[in-house]
Amino acid sequence: MVTQTNLPHRFGGFMNLDDTRRFEELDPGQMLNEIDQLPDQLETAWELGRHFPLGEISGVQQVILAGMGGSAIGADLLAAYALPMASVPVIVWRDYDLPAFAAKPGTLVVVSSHSGNTEESLSALEAARDCGAQVLAITTGGRLAQAAGAKGAPVWQFEHPGQPRAAVGFAYGLLLAVFTRLGLIPDPEDEFIGTLAVMRSQQEGIRANVPVVNNPAKRMAGQFMGRWPTILGADILEPVARRWRTQIAELAKAVAQFEALPEADHNMVAGVMNPEQLLGSTMVVFLRGTTCHPRNQRRADATRQVMMLEGFNTDAIEAVGETRMAQQWSALHFGDYTAYYLAMAYEVDPTPVEAIEDLKRRLAT
């Protein structure tokens, strides 16, 4: 029987998620510290972005946010927040080159790469130069900083020695500053300050020193053990569902998927009958927020009922806070802690991503 403190792991024994000494052994790269400091990182990024140079960027009529992985998730989060009020179209580009419409006058291409050496991002930078688009680079350095600087584009260079996925506060906060200073969205400073307060308040109940019996993020990790998690979100929480999936993959080295509402109700909800023997090994979590569209809130409840009746394990997370940004970031932070505790439960180091590095080596040959 699983106790409130101990969770079964893959070797048939138990992992004590209240054993923080074991956390230190499994986490030499201090990923937990990165998660703990996320509100501070987000605040630092906003402050940096208020003072970094914008160069001669002007007359923006559309924005393309080019990046991959940890850099792109910040763009997803920003786009979800900004689109309901942005004065120009915004797209997130995860690929080589750029779409043909980038050549239109007034295009701003923001190229983000944590390392500065992401090949897809460098390709997007080159395409932006060739089509005459305005460019802004966000990076810690590398070839992107060099190439963008050589072209006279502003380079917003920040310091972060950790993994790209742990720099999501920089990836979002700097973009938020870009959009604000260019007048593409109303000034969100009050909402931003409130968001930091909500994150820090929620954090007190889900830190590693909070025991399982009182820690909902640890208990959620327990529900994911030995199961295939599926995370659903809508509106402001759609990219948060993606973030949960990527964090589960990269921290816990575990399989997961994400789906978006209302789209999932037009296809995914039909695939709930087979294979019957696997349905009990699923865990479907609905990210809910009071700032989401009322119809999407109803869809989350109705979709959960359908899946429960078909034998799926389900749960729901209520995003904390009163504003769209606060609910987005509180739900994201909860998911980061959950993925970390899942890594601890599986007894894997949450920092290295050898599968990704191996793939890069294969592509380099």
- The whole-angstrom separation of Cα 55 and Cα 148 is 12
Q: Active-site residue 191, yes or no? A: no
Active site residue 266: yes
> What is the rounded end-to-end Cα distance, in angstroms, of the chain?
50
CA angle 100, 71, 25 (to 5 degrees): 155
Q: Which of 56, 266, 276, 354 is catalytic?
A: 266
Alpha-carbon torsion 184, 186, 189, 191, what sign? Answer: negative
Residue linked to tokens 């180091």: 349
Q: Which of 34, 238, 250, 259 is catalytic?
A: 250
Measured in degrees and rounded to the nearest 5, phi and psi for residue 189 equal: -60, -45
The closest of 263, 266, 260, 273 to 231, measured between CA atoms, is 260
Q: Is 114 a catalytic residue?
A: no
**Residues of 250-272 as b/e, b for ≥16 C-beta within 10 angstroms?**
bbbbbebbbbbbeebbeebbeeb
Residues labelled as active-site residues: 250, 266, 360
